[in-house]
Amino acid sequence: MFVANASLKRRPKPVEGALVEVDGERFYRISNYDAMPPFLMSLVSDSDHWFFISSNGALTAGRRDPDHALFPYYTDDRIHDSQDQTGSKTILTVNRDGKRFLWEPFSPRYEGLYNVSRNLYKSIFHNKIIFEEINWDLSLSFSYAWMFSERFGFVRLATLTNLGNENVEADILDGVQNILPYGISRRFQLEYSTLADAYKEAELDVETGLAIFKLASIPVDKAEPSEALRATTVWSTGLESPKRLLSTSQLERFRQGYAVEEETATRGIRGAYFVNARLSIPAKDKREWYIVAEVNQDAASVIALLRLLRSERSLRDRILEDVKYGTQNLIRIVASADGLQATEDELNTCRHFSNVLFNVMRGGVPDNGYWMSRADFISFISKSNRKVLQKHLSFLNSLPEKFTLHYLRSAVQEQNDPDLERLAYEYLPLTFSRRHGDPSRPWNMFSIEVKDEYGRKILNYQGNWRDIFQNWEALALSFPEYIENMIFKFVDAITPDGYNPYRVTREGFEWEVPDPRDPWSYVGYWGDHQVVYLLRLLEASRRYHPGLIAKLSTRRIFAYVNIPYRIKSYEDILKDPRKTIEFDFSLDQEIKKKVSIIGADGILVQDENGEIYHVNLIEKLLVILLAKLSNYIPEAGIWMNTQRPEWNDANNALVGYGTSVVTLCYLRRFLAFCKDLFKEIEKYEISVSSEVREFFQDIYNALKRHLNLLGKPISDKNRKRVLDDLGKAGSRYRSRIYAESFSGVQATLSIEELQSFCDLALQHIDHSIRANKRDDDLYHSYNLITISDDEIKIRHLYEMLEGQVAVLSSGLLSSEEAVTLLDSLRESRLYRADQNSYMLYPDRRLPRFLEKNNIPQSEVKKSRLLIELLKRGDKRIVVCDVNGGVHFNAAFRNSDVLRGALESLKNEEEYRGLVEEEAGLVLEIYEKVFDHQSFTGRSGSFFKYEGLGCIYWHMVSKLLLAVQEVLNKAAGMNQDKTVLNRLKKHYYEIREGIGVHKPPSQYGAFSTDPYSHTPSFTGAQQPGMTGQVKEDIISRLGEMGVIVEDGCLKFRTHLINPSEFLKSPRRFMYYDVEGHQQTIELDKDTLAFTLCQVPVIVHRSSPVRIEVRNSDDSRKIINSLDLDAETSSAIFNRTGNIHSLNVFLGMG
């Protein structure tokens, strides 16, 4: 292939991935990355930088949130498309052999004219990236790197290397383009970018080379001044007397070989910053230079920067020193949550670091272990409840300046105030958290709030309900003393009707508000998250702190949150199960008013005296159980009738006519936990609100009344009778609570009644789960139901991965049954061989365009209305094509639109009678044509995210953890080794499918990075902040041999992979509980990790024992693999008394 007389140099390039060393730091390198489809990457700093970059070099970046962008914040598709327009740009003219060569690294402009190799390097710490292009024809290499500096901002290092044996001269024009000034919000840039350009100005300080990018004023339509008093700054260092350009206007001139002129000011065009210089590079030598950018700079900041630039000729050392400090601090943050490991499999340890990093980015991390500050706790109280603040101001001010978690719990309990104690338990001094928004998740907007506008550190966290609590589960493994705080935060946000709000913040909770102008605006409750995520926190508390939840469970120190959603009555839900929640706008305003007066606690349910209504944990758990069971449909699952789906929100159309076996499985495990909890409670009777006691009795009676139905298939009529009893019970309870709130009257439940209730509910649930076993040994995940006056019919959907994970997690299956399920799963349509992993559901071909919307003639002939419309040529309902085929009007997206059109026809005399007679028939025909009852939602109509053909890695990691739990249980029961080995084989097959060892060409990105999903047609998508990381962190701890039971740390060998033991000595770097960097020399046949920042060195050798080294260097030997409770507690509490553990497994 030729372009003019030039032959294109195109040949297949092998894509390869490997860990490499670059200037003393570890990077993962993808060689020939340009042979892969573009993919998005996320870079992270220890501060509030955000940075998303395409593998083609285009990017978006900024500080804090998308409204403080350095480069425009767009969705990932637009970022990929903006190559050559946004971000780095380099053009060189090179003198070689008497010729002048034009070279534009990384650009598609002259693709194939040179013999080049392109490599991409990403730091294993996720805070640096390097793009490298080697031009073999010119014997030159050009690279640029992005990195972060808290002091200076965004740092770009460019390097031109002479690979040849002779001196080379080159003119370079290098820089960044599409720079945003301060004051352009994400939305304004997205909708009015051309108007934004009109306000842009750039100016150059010629002496220092500092460019200032600013707006002439903040764009507004009001007749008022709007000064732009902040700016974006860009400067460079490393080149001798370069020219600076402030736009891209002269790039073409440079390409044509002409000299460029320095630009000192621009107006009305997009900003850029280029440096132009002539370089002479000796053989085998290189030249480096830096471009540094920062956002949100006021006049004082700019003046300080000008002084610095004038006083120092080169700032290279200062820049790199600050970058290094940021790297060390980022590692320290991840290390605090046990992100550092040392094994022979370095890819696994890199992936673990990634998982921990992104987990703490979503859920946050304690700022100083279990230490807290008086000032921050008082700030939290002041924003939560001003009454409590005033009541206890003297006590709060008397607290030490710094104190521990347990000191605070003890101190506040002595104050005998349930609200102060509740708030102390809800208090979590977390930092580094942000919502998981990014350019591939445009529905989530993030804000990295780690410091205020003056640079002072602040503590904060925020996240979607169903996201932040799952990340806290993994965080709890490193900070187990906070588990109960997490539980308090969770249950205090449970509504009286048994659900949870949408979003969690440090000071409270938020809910969605309907907006008729926004088609994505919707309200409702998710179901399964509430059960399983709370359950896992409760289980963690039982493992680490046996008996503590039982002690807390009867104390009235919990509260209900008051959300302005009102679930309709059972009778109204039956009429339209997709529209079941009414938003109470007046209550919404009332709650907001209370918040403005009281603080965040204004959203809590109050008693008749205006005080917060207090209940115990048992009541909160019961309300969750009763709410779910009031929607239980035998052999179908839990009725999804709260306007939101479950974990897979792409199954949004299941709402109303779908039932969840998934939630049923998690409810089973929840009930089993509660049954054990009730046994631990020392009291004979428990007090609960009288309304909840009545609700409990109604559900109990209904389940008992229909107990005789179990053990055989349940008829459609009996199924409806059960739901009627349960649904009406829930409806009665809700109507009373909505109308009158709680009376304050307490009633009692005996422990015997509670245990009997759990047994009864488990019998019903076990029957229904078993009824959902398929012929192929898999289990149904969701079902469709058709409800009539006296029957409920069930239609089963296709197999889904979610159901298999749920049933494995439920505790119902034996080890042998679990193995059989996993065998069948491997042979099922869910398995995707190209990725060696599992899709959410089988891929399928959707109908082609002309295969849809065809009404069979036999159906047309049934309707006199349709015949009459066709005869008249009236196209409002149906149309006839030139071949005589009949189709519904293309405007009818669903039956509601058709129903509206039929209603309109009633206004016309000639159609009124036919419409009244046949409207139902026409709607039936429409349903036969489109089968919308089987429509599951977005999941069945798109091809990315949770769509058709996609692997959603979070669910695969949930599968991994579920198998690990089954394996741990089987090993603990000393079950047959054949079963154990089969389970272990499945476990590691699933593990390998997740992909850390996959080549980049198969994975589609850096395999050390977690990604959300992989479509059938391209590589991994949505980097970083995926829920998958939580499951992988928990699973990884199991792979290290760790188990916690009855408050004791134990080690087991059944999941340890022998290939992870070191083949040669190595140094392990970690940070201790005080945050100090330490190193340990590891021997061959060992591996190392930290647990609550205590290093654990695992030895393959014998004899079996644990050697405990204390901080005073004294030693204790335990001749088993079970640590005692006292030593375990010292580790979990991060006392600093334990220096390290040496665990000898006796594996030979």
Per-residue model confidence as pLDDT tens digits over 948-1006:
999 999 999 999 999 999 999 999 999 999 999 999 999 999 999 999 999 999 999 99
Q: Report the distance separating Cα 1036 and Cα 994, nearest Å.
A: 13
Q: What is the mean pLDDT of residues 816-832?
A: 98
Element housing 858 (H / E):
helix 857-860
Q: How confident is the model at residue 656 (pLDDT cuts 50, 70, 90)?
A: very high
Q: Are residues 626 and 758 in the same domain?
A: yes
Q: Are 250 and 307 in contact (CB under 8 A)?
A: no
Q: What is the pLDDT of residue 467?
A: 84
CATH number, domain containing residue 10: 2.70.98
Q: Report the distance separating Cα 414 and Cα 870, nearest Å.
A: 82
Q: Quick one: what percent of the chain has pLDDT higher than 90?
A: 91
Q: Are residues 1137 and 1055 in the same domain?
A: yes
Q: Report the distance separating Cα 246 and Cα 203, nearest Å.
A: 8
Task: Check whether 437 has a pLDDT greater than 90.
Answer: no
**One-character DSSP codes across 211-229:** EEEEESS---SSSS-----
Q: Could you tell me the CA-to-CA distances from 766 to 667, 724, 753, 759, 760 in Å, in that order? A: 10, 20, 20, 10, 10
Q: Give 243's strand partners.
A: 276
Task: Check whether 728 has a pLDDT greater than 80.
Answer: yes
Q: What is the pLDDT of residue 442?
A: 86
Task: Check whether 841 has a pLDDT greater than 70.
Answer: yes
Domain boundary among 934, 964, 995: 934
* Strand ranges, E, within 661-798: 685-689, 746-750, 782-787, 792-796
Q: What is the pLDDT of residue 4?
A: 76
- The reply to whether 517 falls in a domain is yes
Q: What is the pLDDT of residues 137-175, one digit of tens each?
A: 999 999 999 999 999 999 999 999 999 999 999 999 999
Q: What is the pLDDT of residue 49?
A: 97
Q: What is the mean pLDDT of residues 456-467?
A: 88
Q: Are residues 1049 and 1130 in the same domain?
A: yes
> Which range is least confidently modeled, 6-15, 407-416, 735-744, 1098-1107?
6-15
Q: Are residues 782 and 927 in the same domain?
A: no
CA 780, distance to chain mean position in Å, is: 26
Q: Are residues 596 and 684 in the same domain?
A: yes
Q: What is the mean pLDDT of residues 197-204?
A: 97
- The reply to whether 1126 falls in a domain is yes
Q: What is the pLDDT of residues 802-815, one digit of tens each?
A: 999 999 999 999 99
Q: What is the pLDDT of residues 227-246, one digit of tens each?
A: 999 999 999 999 999 999 99
- The reply to whether 581 falls in a domain is yes
Q: Report the distance separating Cα 411 and Cα 598, nearest Å.
A: 23
pTM: 0.97
Residue type at 488? F
Residue type at 149? S
Q: What is the mean pLDDT of residues 595-617?
A: 96
Q: What is the pLDDT of residue 313?
A: 76
Q: Are 392 and 419 in contact (CB under 8 A)?
A: no
- The reply to whether 628 falls in a domain is yes
Spatial CB neighbours of 154, under 8 Å, sequence gap ≥ 6: 49, 51, 61, 70, 146, 148, 292, 293, 294
Q: What is the pLDDT of residue 995?
A: 94
Structure-model confidence comparison of residues 613 and 523, the more confident one: 613
Tokens encoding 727: 């649904």
Q: What is the mean pLDDT of residues 763-767?
A: 98
Q: What is the pLDDT of residue 528?
A: 65
Domain boundary among 934, 949, 978: 934
Q: What is the mean pLDDT of residues 261-289?
A: 98
What's phi and psi for 773, nearest 5 deg?
-75, 135
Q: What is the pLDDT of residues 288-334, one digit of tens each?
A: 999 999 999 999 999 999 999 999 877 999 999 999 999 999 999 99
Q: What is the pLDDT of residue 652?
A: 86
Q: Report the distance separating Cα 238 and Cα 1114, nearest Å.
A: 53
- The reply to whether 626 falls in a domain is yes
CA 705, distance to chain mean position in Å, is: 43
- The reply to whether 901 falls in a domain is yes
- The reply to whether 959 falls in a domain is no
Q: What is the pLDDT of residue 727?
A: 98
Q: Could you tell me the CA-to-CA distances from 20 to 24, 28, 29, 44, 982 in Å, in that order? A: 10, 6, 7, 20, 36
Task: Check whether 531 has a pLDDT greater than 80.
Answer: yes
Q: Report the distance separating Cα 542 and Cα 486, nearest Å.
A: 14
Task: Check whether 464 has a pLDDT greater than 90.
Answer: no
Q: Are residues 488 and 588 in the same domain?
A: yes
The number of distinct structural domains making up the chain is 4
Element housing 767 (H / E):
helix 751-771
Give start and end residues of each alpha helix (H) in 772-856.
801-810, 815-826
Q: How confident is the model at residue 251 (pLDDT cuts 50, 70, 90)?
A: very high
Q: Could you tell me the CA-to-CA distances from 443 to 439, 446, 589, 934, 1010 in Å, in that order? A: 9, 10, 25, 27, 20
Q: Are residues 929 and 787 in the same domain?
A: no
- The reply to whether 976 falls in a domain is no
Domain boundary among 307, 333, 359: 333
Average pLDDT, the chain: 96
Q: Report the distance separating Cα 810 and Cα 654, nearest Å.
A: 22
Strand 685-689 vs strand 658-660: parallel, antiparallel, or unpaired?
A: unpaired
Q: Are residues 615 and 748 in the same domain?
A: yes
Maximum pairwise Cα distance, the chain: 99
* DSSP assignment letter at 849: G
Peptide bond before residue 181 is cis, with ω within 30 degrees of 0:
no
**One-character DSSP codes across 41-97:** EEEE-SSSEEEEEETTS-EEEEESSGGGEEE----HHHHHHTTTTSEEEEEEEEEET
Q: Which domain holds residue 660?
A: 435-444+467-810
Q: Are residues 552 and 672 in the same domain?
A: yes
Element housing 125 (H / E):
none
Q: Are residues 100 and 235 in the same domain?
A: yes
Q: Are residues 558 and 650 in the same domain?
A: yes
Spatial CB neighbours of 753, under 8 Å, sequence gap ≥ 6: 700
Q: Are residues 619 and 728 in the same domain?
A: yes
Residue type at 325? Y
